[in-house]
Amino acid sequence: MSTVSYYTAEGLKKLREELDYLKSVMRPKASADIAEARDKGDLSENAEYDAAKEAQGMLEMRIAKLEDVHSNARLIDETHLDVSKVLVLSNVKIKNQTNGMEMKYTLVAESEADLKTGKISVTSPIGKGLLGKSVGEFAEITVPNGVLKFEILEISRD
């Protein structure tokens, strides 16, 4: 049974592009690799053929997984999101109460998380701890190395 995944328009577009690339470019390439290896002789002792078949199997599994994710993907309608609380797609400015450091994150679906660009998953410990909070509230978040306390300074949407 598949679970529903929520995506931004950008994230859903990337998912579709990857799926299209695997189907239109990589699948024909895998078939060509198998045909080329088959032409090299006895299949019972052909390691190149076995490797090409294995690669094709892995590709087909990846395609099936992405098709499943895509069929259960839901687009997040940003116009109906409450801007007074931290929700998915919120831009949140927080202040660490221990060291005074301020950080800004965007909460996104797990599949779109990228810490380098400041996008954290709503299912991560920090994401879960911030969800539902309002400006001025404090979030105590348990992380692997202890408890962090953050103050919510600002909530916005792009």
Alpha-carbon gap, residue 89 to 107, rounded angstroms? 5
| Per-residue model confidence as pLDDT tens digits over 94-127 | 999 989 999 999 988 887 888 899 999 888 899 8
Confidence of residue 78 (pLDDT cuts 50, 70, 90): low
Given a cut of 70, whether residue 79 has pLDDT beyond it is no
User: How confident is the model at residue 1, as a pLDDT?
Assistant: 47
User: How confident is the model at residue 82, as a pLDDT?
Assistant: 64
| Per-residue model confidence as pLDDT tens digits over 28-63 | 999 999 888 888 777 677 788 888 899 999 999 999
Residues 4-43 as b/e (b if ≥16 CB within 10 A, e otherwise) read ebbbbeebbeebeeebeebeeeeeeebeebbeebeeeeee
Work out the mean pLDDT of the chain and round it to a whole number.
86
SS3 state at 12 = helix
User: How confident is the model at residue 116, as a pLDDT?
Assistant: 92
Token pair listed for 101: 């450091």
Quick one: DSSP state of residue 84? Answer: S
